[in-house]
């Protein structure tokens, strides 16, 4: 079945898809449970989960794009194409359940995986649709909606930064930043050695090369790397690699660098995957909060430097205007972003501070 009407909108297509899911739940609920095995129970649960997530996504996304009616009435071409395809896939999937209820017999256990795959497709399709609405309303900013959500959270904290942060407050804050990142997309092992963040809103990829685990705390506030196992400060991956790495000993303990107010805090301490050597990387939320929708058919997101952006946004004397250092633009990947940060916005590293101490 493939219908295509001029009246289709994001809202009407999502409603059709929700109706298919409701149908599926009803078909199972009305069938004779005396013949059910674990597969039937699992199938019902999968359909209910898909319906719950679809509702939750819908309710969470609408306020981000100027409200429910704006979201429902959107007719962005790419969103309609994706959602029509998805509606047809859901229709075919629920058709299988209808046949099963007519013919009887045990349910096909493979259908649960189909339901779960469709649920993931629907989650991404909703995020993309919201991302497109957000992008179409942006004239100056290059951030995708996913980046904007992390950025907004960081801003809210920064504006309160003058207030003292209690013991452990930074760790909690960093974990909260990462929680927002995990709502926006996911971390995955990419190839043998790299870690990728993939944004659900724009499908943009950010790649950290040769990294064992993604650190979950900024280096400047990472007390735990001096006091406990580094695994306590790393972030689990969606596809965790086998945990066969030795625990590195927190050898010659440098004094944690004190936080200097106003100094860019972009570094995190990780370990290379290939050599398992300590290295400084860009703290994931710093890159994620500043990524943009991939352009020109690419898959990697570009990154805007937030520190340069602050410099050019901030108040300044008109006389100094020519001296203001302007960003060269967007960085094409995390590696070139990090290179820029190292040169233009150096932060105190453990190595530097241990030199200072010695
Ligand atoms: Zn994105
Ligand atoms: Zn910069």
238 pLDDT tier (thresholds 50, 70, 90):
low
Ligand 2 centre to CA of 302 (Å) is 14
pLDDT at 172: 80
Distances (CA, A) of 105 to 94, 98, 113: 16, 12, 19
Asked if 13 and 126 count as a contact pair (C-beta separation under 8 A), the reply is no
Which residue in this structure is represented by tokens 């150096």?
Answer: 346
pLDDT at 236: 61
> Which listed ligand is nearest to 309 at the C-alpha?
2
> Which listed ligand is nearest to 329 at the C-alpha?
2
20 pLDDT tier (thresholds 50, 70, 90):
very high
pLDDT at 252: 37
Check pLDDT > 60 for residue 231: no
Ligand 2 centre to CA of 70 (Å) is 35
Residue range 321-337: mean pLDDT, rounded:
69
Ligand 1 centre to CA of 2 (Å) is 30
263 pLDDT tier (thresholds 50, 70, 90):
low
Question: What angle is formed at CA 300 by the lines to CA 296 and CA 303, rounded to 5 degrees?
Answer: 100
Check pLDDT > 50 for residue 255: no
Ligand 1 centre to CA of 349 (Å) is 29
Residue range 137-159: mean pLDDT, rounded:
86
Residue range 280-290: mean pLDDT, rounded:
96
Residues in the chain: 358
262 pLDDT tier (thresholds 50, 70, 90):
low
- For the segment 71-85, what is each residue's pLDDT rounded down to a tens digit? 999 999 999 999 999
pLDDT at 347: 75
Residue boundaries of the structural domains of the chain? 10-136, 145-357
What sections of 267-325 are H helices per DSSP? 284-288, 306-313
158 pLDDT tier (thresholds 50, 70, 90):
confident
pLDDT at 138: 79
Q: Of residues 242 and 193, which shows the higher confidence score?
A: 193
Check pLDDT > 80 for residue 353: no
Mean pLDDT of the chain: 82
Ligand 2 centre to CA of 143 (Å) is 16
Ligand 1 centre to CA of 285 (Å) is 12
Q: ipTM score of the complex? A: 0.98
Ligand 2 centre to CA of 287 (Å) is 12
Neighbours of 197 (CB within 10 A): 26
Q: Of residues 302 and 353, which shows the higher confidence score?
A: 302
Q: Of residues 154 and 198, which shows the higher confidence score?
A: 198
Quick check: helix, strand or coil at residue 100?
Answer: helix
Residue range 105-117: mean pLDDT, rounded:
96
Centroid of chain to Cα 216: 14
pLDDT at 164: 57
> Which listed ligand is nearest to 185 at the C-alpha?
1
Distances (CA, A) of 199 to 6, 117, 204, 218, 342: 30, 18, 5, 21, 25
pLDDT at 3: 61
Q: Of residues 104 and 90, which shows the higher confidence score?
A: 90
Choice among 15-29, 55-69, 215-229 with the minimum mean pLDDT: 215-229
Task: Give 295's DSSP letter.
Answer: -
pLDDT at 243: 39
Quick check: helix, strand or coil at residue 301?
Answer: coil
Asked if 181 and 237 count as a contact pair (C-beta separation under 8 A), the reply is no
Q: CB within 5 A of ion ligand 2: which residues?
A: 305, 307-308, 344
Check pLDDT > 80 for residue 227: no
> Which listed ligand is nearest to 292 at the C-alpha?
1
Neighbours of 4 (CB within 10 A): 9
pLDDT at 39: 95
């Amino acid at each position: 079945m493939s219908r295509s009407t001029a009246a289709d909108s994001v809202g009407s297509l999502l409603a059709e898809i929700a109706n298919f899911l409701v149908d599926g739940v009803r078909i199972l609920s009305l069938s004779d449970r005396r013949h059910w095995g674990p597969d039937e129970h699992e199938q019902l649960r999968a359909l209910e989960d898909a319906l719950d997530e679809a509702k939750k996504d819908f309710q969470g996304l609408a306020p981000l794009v100027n409200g429910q009616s704006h979201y429902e009435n959107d007719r962005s071409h790419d969103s309609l194409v994706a959602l029509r395809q998805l509606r047809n896939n859901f229709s075919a999937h629920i058709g299988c359940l209808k046949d099963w209820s007519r013919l009887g017999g045990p349910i096909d256990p493979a259908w649960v995986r189909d339901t779960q795959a469709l649920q993931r497709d629907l989650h991404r399709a909703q995020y993309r649709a919201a991302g497109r609405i957000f992008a179409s309303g942006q004239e100056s900013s290059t951030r995708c909606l996913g980046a904007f959500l992390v950025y907004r959270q960081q801003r809210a904290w920064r504006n309160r930064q003058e207030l003292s942060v209690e013991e452990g407050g930074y760790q909690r804050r960093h974990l909260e930043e990462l929680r927002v990142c995990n709502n926006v997309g996911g971390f995955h092992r990419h190839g043998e050695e790299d870690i990728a963040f993939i944004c659900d809103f724009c499908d943009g990829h950010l790649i950290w090369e040769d990294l064992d685990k993604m650190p979950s705390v900024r280096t400047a506030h990472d007390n735990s790397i001096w006091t406990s196992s580094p695994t306590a400060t790393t972030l689990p991956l969606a596809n965790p690699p086998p945990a066969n790495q030795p625990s590195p000993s927190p050898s010659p303990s440098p004094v944690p660098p004190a936080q200097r107010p106003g100094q860019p805090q972009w570094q995190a301490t990780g370990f290379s995957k290939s050599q398992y050597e300590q290295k400084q990387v860009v703290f994931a939320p710093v890159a994620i909060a500043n990524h943009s929708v991939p352009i020109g058919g690419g898959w990697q997101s570009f990154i805007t430097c937030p520190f340069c952006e602050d410099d050019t946004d901030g108040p300044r004397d008109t006389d100094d205007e020519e001296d203001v250092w302007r960003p060269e633009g967007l960085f094409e990947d995390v590696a070139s972003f990090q290179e820029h940060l190292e040169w233009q916005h150096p932060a105190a590293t453990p190595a530097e501070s241990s030199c200072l101490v010695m």
